[in-house]
Amino acid sequence: MGESAMYVFTYRELAEVLVKRQGIHEGLWGVYVKFTFGAANMADPNGMLMPSAISGIQEIGIQRFDQANNLTVDAAHVNPVPAQRASGKSPAKRILSKK
What would the pLDDT profile of 53-96 be if each residue is shown by its tens digit?
Answer: 999 999 999 999 999 999 999 999 999 998 875 555 555 444 44
Three-class SS state of 32 = strand
Q: Against a cut of 0.75, is the pTM above it?
A: no
β-pair type (72-74, 49-65):
unpaired
What would the pLDDT profile of 10-39 be if each residue is shown by its tens digit?
Answer: 999 999 999 999 999 999 999 999 999 999
pLDDT at 83: 83
